[in-house]
């Protein structure tokens, strides 16, 4: 792994992880569709010594196909170790419940992916876990939110749909000064654009269903960090049971081979789309971290490695109904939630992720009328822009 880490990210995407087929020399990782494995005397000894994770016993515990994709994602994030899950939510819930117990305090924010927000609000009270939500863009609010029993600080590196960034190093210093772990969800930025572990973050979680797999055909999740932390999460995973199956593991590993080249195109397409929207008379406001007027431009540029990913948000100069008309007018962009696939998607928070809020509550958060979220795919930028132009002009 150490040698792999010195390679460029495209080489890591293709070669890291993977599994050498010593029997037949297959260039690709074989798919080991087996729930259980023949045990040798050495295997029994490993089990007796508490080393069941290092051998193949039963696929909920571990599987060679799954290990291949875990090592690839760990190498991409520059982590010692990684673990693959059946979904992003399985990765997030298992990780948080590894490090939080009854009486502990979690410092987080309301500005989280909906699924994570519901997990924290609806499930954590059952476990007696105390939660405080702060504004992660305000360092003082974080400082004031920390308590003696704060064990975990949890944020997303780029928020949805307002694309707010976190000063990772400043937050890490506060968390560690308080004896807490700093865990982030890096789904939107991806390790192509940001490697949080290089900035004081302890553990990174992902929905692999988005950019990592990249083809909108597999639900999956990952957690990466130190060997010690991932070993602890592995034990919790055995109990909750959210491990990844071998076939999805193969598909995600295959998807990851083109990760760097896909991300390059997501980055440049989103930049081109954001710049085009910026100059369009039917557009009130554009949010993209690559634009000069992005409110945290100086901050984010201290951290990013390649670009700003494929998510662009904007407001049509009109109402939510105008936004819906715009979406219906599009020909290439598909109206769907989710993100990070090769195809371009469009959605509106008001009738999907933020439908539970009133227009006033949305406005207060910064989601005004006609707010649109774009996930820029890897098509030709000229085609994506021409489609947006005709759709805006015929609203
Ligand atoms: C999609 C998503 C999740 C949840 O992942 P699933 O794979 O759908 O379980 C978590 N966090 C973020 C930021 C996401 O976009």
pLDDT in tens, 125-171: 999 999 999 999 999 999 999 999 999 999 999 999 999 999 999 99
**How many angstroms separate the first and last alpha carbons of the chain?**
53
Distance CA 340, CA 375 (A): 6
Catalytic residue among 67, 164, 195, 210: 210
CA gap 112, 183 in Å, rounded: 13
150: DSSP letter:
E
62: CA distance to ligand 1 center in Å? Answer: 23
Q: Which of 114, 166, 209 most suits a substitution to test ligand 1, by most atoms within 8 Å of the C-beta? A: 209
The band of 18, judged by pLDDT with boundaries at 50, 70 and 90, is confident
Q: How many CB atoms within 10 Å of residue 187?
A: 27
Span from the CA of 88 to the centroid of ligand 1 (angstroms): 5
Identify the residues whose C-beta falls under 6 Å from ligand 1.
Answer: 87-89, 113, 115-116, 156, 185, 187-188, 207, 209-210, 219, 221
| pLDDT at site 1 | 44
Other Cβ atoms within 10 Å of 174 Cβ, number: 18
Q: Which atom of ligand 1 is nearest to the CA of 220?
A: 7
Asked if 236 and 83 count as a contact pair (C-beta separation under 8 A), the reply is no
> Looking at 15-24, 42-51, 385-394, which range is the least confident one?
15-24
The pLDDT value recorded for residue 327 is 98
81 annotated active-site:
no
Q: What is the DSSP string of 224-278?
A: EE-HHHHHHHHHHHHHH--BPPHHHHHHHHHHHTTHHHHHHHHHHHHHHHHHHHH
**3: pLDDT strictly greater than 60:** no
8 Å CB contact between 377 and 342:
yes
Backbone angles phi, psi at 35, to 5 degrees: -75, -25
Whose Cα sits closest to atom 6 in ligand 1? 88
Which residue CA neighbors atom 8 of ligand 1 most closely?
88
CA 139 – ligand 1 centroid, Å: 26
Strand 150-156 and strand 181-185: pairing?
Answer: parallel
Residue 282 a catalytic site member? no
CA distance 60 to 235: 11
User: What's the gap in Å between 364 CA and the centre of ligand 1?
Assistant: 24
Q: Is 72 helix (H, G, I), strand (E, B) or coil?
A: helix
How many other C-beta atoms can be found within 10 angstroms of the C-beta atom of residue 217?
12
pLDDT in tens, 330-350: 999 999 999 999 999 999 999
CA atoms within 13 A on the CB side of 51: 8
φ/ψ of 130, rounded to 5, equals -90, 135
User: pLDDT, tens digit, for every residue of 44-66?
Assistant: 999 999 999 999 999 999 999 99
Spot the catalytic one: 4, 43, 58, 60.
Answer: 60
4, pLDDT greater than 70 = no
| pLDDT tens, residue by residue, 255-271 | 999 999 999 999 999 99
pTM attached to this predicted model: 0.97
Q: What angle do CA 296, 383, 211 make, to 5 degrees?
A: 50
* Residue 283 confidence (pLDDT): 98
Listed in sequence order, the DSSP H helices in the chain are 2-5, 9-15, 41-48, 64-77, 88-99, 114-118, 139-145, 168-177, 190-193, 227-240, 246-256, 259-278, 297-301, 320-329, 359-365, 381-393
Write down the pLDDT at residue 20: 84
Torsion of CA 291, 295, 300, 305, to 10 degrees: -10
Q: What is the pLDDT of residues 175-194, one digit of tens each?
A: 999 999 999 999 999 999 99
For the segment 226-265, what is each residue's pLDDT rounded down to a tens digit? Answer: 999 999 999 999 999 999 999 999 999 999 999 999 999 9
Query: For residue 5, is pLDDT > 80?
Result: no
Q: Rounded to the nearest whole angstrom, what is the distance from the C-alpha of residue 61 to the centroid of ligand 1?
A: 23
Q: Which helix (H) or strand (E) holds 234?
A: helix 227-240
Q: β-pairing, 283-287 with 311-316?
A: antiparallel
118 is catalytic: no
pLDDT at position 201, please? Answer: 98
2 carries an active-site annotation: no
- Residue 172 CA to residue 176 CA, distance in Å, equals 6
Rounded Cα distance between 309 and 393, Å, is 26
């Amino acid at each position: 792994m150490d040698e792999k880490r010195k390679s460029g990210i495209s080489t890591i995407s293709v070669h890291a992880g993977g599994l050498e087929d010593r029997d037949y020399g297959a260039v690709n990782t074989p798919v080991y569709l087996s729930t259980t494995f023949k045990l040798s005397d050495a295997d029994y000894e490993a089990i007796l010594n508490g080393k069941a994770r290092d051998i193949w016993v039963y696929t909920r515990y571990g599987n060679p196909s799954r290990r291949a994709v875990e090592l690839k994602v760990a190498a991409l994030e520059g982590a010692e170790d990684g673990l693959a899950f059946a979904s992003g939510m399985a990765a997030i819930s298992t990780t948080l419940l590894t490090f939080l117990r009854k009486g502990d305090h979690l410092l987080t924010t309301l500005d989280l992916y909906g699924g994570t927000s519901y997990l924290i609000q609806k499930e954590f009270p059952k476990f007696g876990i105390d939660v405080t939500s702060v504004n992660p863009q305000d360092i003082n609010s974080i400082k004031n939110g920390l308590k003696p029993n704060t064990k975990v600080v949890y944020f997303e590196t780029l928020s949805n749909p307002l694309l707010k960034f976190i000063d990772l190093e400043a937050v890490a210093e506060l968390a560690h000064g308080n004896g807490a772990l700093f865990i982030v969800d890096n789904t939107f930025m991806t390790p192509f654009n940001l490697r949080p572990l290089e900035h004081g973050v302890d553990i990174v979680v992902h929905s692999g269903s988005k950019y990592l797999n990249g083809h909108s055909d597999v639900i999956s999740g990952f957690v990466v960090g130190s060997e010690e932390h991932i070993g602890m999460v592995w034990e919790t995973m055995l109990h909750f049971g959210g491990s990844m199956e071998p076939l999805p593991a193969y598909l995600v590993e295959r998807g990851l081979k083109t990760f760097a080249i896909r991300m390059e195109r997501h980055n440049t397409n989103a930049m081109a789309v954001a710049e085009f929207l910026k100059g369009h008379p039917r557009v009130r406001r554009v949010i993209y971290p690559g634009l000069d007027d992005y409110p945290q431009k100086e901050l984010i540029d201290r951290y990013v490695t390649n670009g700003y990913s494929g998510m662009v948000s904007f407001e049509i100069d009109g109402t939510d109904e105008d936004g819906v008309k715009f979406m219906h007018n599009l020909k290439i962009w598909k109206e769907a939630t989710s993100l990070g696939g090769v195809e371009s998607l469009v959605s509106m928070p008001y009738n999907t992720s933020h439908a539970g809020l009133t227009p006033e509550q949305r406005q207060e958060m910064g989601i005004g009328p006609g707010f649109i979220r774009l996930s820029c795919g890897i098509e030709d930028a000229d085609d994506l822009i021409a489609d947006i132009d005709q759709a805006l002009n015929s609203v």
